[in-house]
């Protein structure tokens, strides 16, 4: 593969490339998805290479990036609006040029940021047609670095360690319309007004450009007193996803639950990757990483930290606890998908589909062992806590298995009571939230009374979560779910809604549910749609929603008994988040 004759490293995408084209993506943009970008850790150390596609798919993989701020000799900043056919973040305004150094010796050189500068020169020519002679290496200045996450949607994300570099030069432009939709030259005095006017037109800015403006823009303008001073800190900006920017803010302006999740997610994921990637070339390791790489908010993994900050003091060992719980959670998902014969998870092929059934079972077994290894190897968990942690988490695993077994048994039974269903979801789902609340309070040094309160809070949140998950299956579209809507119905799952509907007297509406229930692949889209409409007509959806709201109220009641502080406010947002997952 080459840009204007220059060979760049690529990773074969195989059938994935064709699937992107079939999905309507531009062929040229798809070809660049094969470029080999540089995977890094939180300290910007190289840990491997990955295709641009896999580095941006799902939750993304942390990789090195660069952002150029190009000023002309009048001191105006060049801004570009990304092409409308870009696969990630199309049609939004960003800095002069932003892309990735590639996995080559020249572009991995960190001394003086030479690697990213060489990559920037390559991309300035490819995107904007700027001759390399007009942007010599010696004219660039490094400003600093920051790490951020920005999800465009469930399919695509930017998770980058971004190097910000500045150059002032008179340049000739020959815009590549496949990369850039339009440009603007904006001076310092007009910058704020220009940004406001652009937003008023309904046009958007790149999340990373917001990070650049927050951290660096003031000192990057020509003649700034701070120009040329390098900031050696790697700033952690957390989750800058578009939905995060519009998430709830309290009266003091602090971020909500998504900010808290984003703040801790990176630390937890670093531990997960380190634990699972003992031999990243092996099929077993790749299978264990398959679901982890598909992203997710890492809700269960970060709850212990959020709880600790609300009811006691932060303990770095909670990141290891969160990593262990997340790994074990993903182990249960791998096995669940096999048992439920689900082919898709988080918008990607399930592990037993991506690999094979035997490998998926083996990967799940290994993940369970690795979860407990993380606890045993932690340098931050005091020995006095270790026994109770192991007993609590092992009890969680056993109860999850019991809940899953009940769920399996329900599918072959004609009648299941609401009480049996609630007992099942307490084991299969809610116990994980219960465990997260308990261990977070325990390691924070909270009193036994507070530990019990947070245990009960976690259980109530978990019950609400599963009830809402059942509702989402019938109330959300397939694109949002990452799997076919109504799949629980087709598989014959006895959710609270189905139990409520089937307990009513025989009538044509009830028959619509039976026509789709448990029919698997034989259930048509039309029959599933009719069954969902019947659940609504029979009041079963409203019944499930009312029960979810009752657990939501219980969770808030437990928080009411705590000493109120900003950490508890975050827990309240997390509790509300469960109900907000559908309108």
For residue 107, what are the contacts with CB-CB under 8 A and spacing of at least 6? Answer: 38, 101, 115, 116, 118, 119
Integer CA distances (angstroms), 526 to 450, 522, 531, in order = 50, 11, 9
CB atoms within 10 A of CB 365: 14
Instruction: Give the number of C-alpha atoms closer than 13 A to the C-alpha of residue 564, restricted to the C-beta side.
Output: 5
Q: What span, in angstroms and rounded, lies between the C-alpha atoms of 61 and 149?
A: 10
The predicted model scores a pTM of 0.58
- Tens digits of per-residue pLDDT, 130-149? 999 999 999 999 999 999 98
Q: What is the pLDDT of residues 478-535, one digit of tens each?
A: 444 444 567 778 777 888 998 998 888 888 888 888 888 878 778 788 888 888 888 8
Q: According to the CATH classification, is domain 257-580 in 1.10.600.10? A: yes
- pLDDT digit string (tens) for the chain, length 583 residues: 444 445 678 887 777 656 655 455 667 777 788 899 999 988 899 999 999 988 898 878 999 999 999 999 999 999 999 998 888 889 999 999 999 999 999 999 999 999 999 999 999 999 999 999 999 999 999 999 999 988 888 788 899 999 999 999 999 999 999 899 999 999 998 988 888 888 878 888 999 998 898 888 888 999 876 676 787 888 888 878 775 433 332 322 334 565 566 667 777 888 888 898 877 678 998 899 888 876 666 888 999 999 998 999 888 899 999 999 999 999 999 998 898 787 877 667 889 998 999 999 999 999 999 999 999 999 889 889 999 999 999 999 999 999 999 988 887 787 889 999 999 999 989 999 999 999 999 999 999 999 999 999 999 999 999 998 888 877 765 444 444 567 778 777 888 998 998 888 888 888 888 888 878 778 788 888 888 888 889 999 999 999 999 999 999 999 999 998 888 988 998 898 766 554 4
Give me the residue spans of the domains in the chain. Answer: 59-245, 257-580
Are 59-245 and 257-580 equal in CATH topology?
no
CATH architecture of 59-245: Alpha-Beta Complex (3.90)
Question: What is the C-alpha separation between 514 and 415, in angstroms, rounded?
Answer: 13
Q: Which spans in 345-504 are helix H?
A: 351-354, 357-377, 383-410, 418-425, 431-443, 448-475, 478-481, 487-490, 496-502
């Amino acid at each position: 593969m080459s840009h204007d004759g220059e060979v760049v490293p690529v990773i074969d995408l195989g059938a994935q490339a064709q699937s992107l084209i079939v999905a309507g993506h531009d062929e040229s943009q798809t070809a660049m998805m094969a470029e080999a970008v540089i995977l890094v850790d939180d300290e910007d150390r190289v840990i491997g290479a990955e295709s641009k596609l896999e580095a941006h798919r799902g939750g993304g993989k942390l990789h090195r990036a660069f952002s150029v701020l190009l000023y002309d000799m009048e001191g105006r900043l060049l801004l570009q609006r990304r092409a409308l056919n870009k696969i990630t973040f199309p049609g939004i305004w960003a800095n002069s040029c932003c892309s990735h150094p590639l996995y080559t010796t020249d572009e991995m050189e960190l001394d003086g940021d030479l690697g990213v500068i060489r990559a920037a020169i390559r991309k300035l020519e490819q995107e904007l047609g700027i001759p390399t002679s007009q942007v010599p290496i010696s004219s660039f200045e490094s400003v600093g670095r920051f790490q951020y996450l920005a999800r465009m949607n469930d399919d695509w994300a930017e998770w980058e360690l971004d190097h910000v570099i500045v150059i002032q030069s008179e340049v000739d432009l020959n815009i590549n319309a496949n990369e850039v939709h339009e440009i603007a030259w904006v001076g310092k005095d007009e910058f704020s007004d220009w940004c406001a006017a652009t937003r008023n037109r309904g046009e958007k800015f790149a999340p990373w450009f917001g990070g650049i403006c927050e951290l660096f823009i003031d000192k990057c303008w020509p003649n700034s007193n701070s120009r040329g001073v390098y900031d050696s800190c790697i700033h952690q900006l957390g989750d800058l996803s578009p939905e995060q920017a519009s998430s709830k803010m309290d009266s003091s302006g602090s971020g909500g639950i998504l900010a808290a999740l984003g703040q801790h997610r990176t630390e937890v994921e670093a531990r997960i990757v380190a634990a699972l990637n003992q031999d990243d070339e092996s099929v077993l390791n790749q299978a264990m990483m398959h679901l982890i790489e598909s992203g997710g908010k890492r809700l269960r993994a970060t709850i212990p930290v959020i709880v600790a900050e609300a009811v006691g003091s932060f303990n770095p060992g909670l990141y290891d606890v969160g990593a262990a719980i997340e790994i074990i959670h993903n182990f249960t998902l791998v096995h669940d998908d096999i048992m439920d014969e689900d082919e898709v998870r988080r918008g990607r092929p399930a592990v037993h589909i991506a690999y094979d059934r035997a490998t998926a079972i083996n990967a799940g077994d290994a993940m369970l062992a690795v979860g407990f290894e993380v606890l045993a190897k932690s340098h931050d968990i005091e020995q006095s806590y270790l026994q109770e942690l192991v007993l609590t988490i092992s009890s969680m695993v056993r109860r999850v298995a019991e809940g899953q077994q009940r769920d399996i048994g329900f599918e072959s039974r004609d009648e299941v009571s609401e009480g049996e269903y609630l007992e099942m979801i307490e084991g299969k789902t809610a116990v994980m939230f219960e465990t997260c609340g308990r261990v977070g309070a325990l390691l924070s040094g909270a009193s036994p009374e507070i530990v019990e309160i947070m245990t009960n809070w976690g259980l109530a949140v978990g019950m609400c979560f599963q009830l809402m998950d059942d509702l989402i299956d019938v109330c959300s579209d397939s694109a949002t779910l990452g799997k076919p809507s109504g799949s629980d119905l087709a598989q014959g799952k006895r959710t609270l809604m189905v139990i409520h509907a089937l307990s009513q007297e025989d009538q044509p509406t009830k028959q619509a549910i039976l026509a789709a229930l448990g029919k698997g692949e034989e259930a048509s889209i039309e029959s599933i749609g009719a069954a969902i409409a019947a659940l609504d007509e029979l009041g079963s959806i409203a019944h499930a929603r009312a029960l979810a709201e009752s657990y939501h109220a219980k969770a808030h009641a437990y928080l009411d008994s705590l000493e109120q502080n900003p950490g508890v406010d975050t827990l309240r947002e997390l509790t509300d988040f469960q109900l907000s997952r559908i309108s």
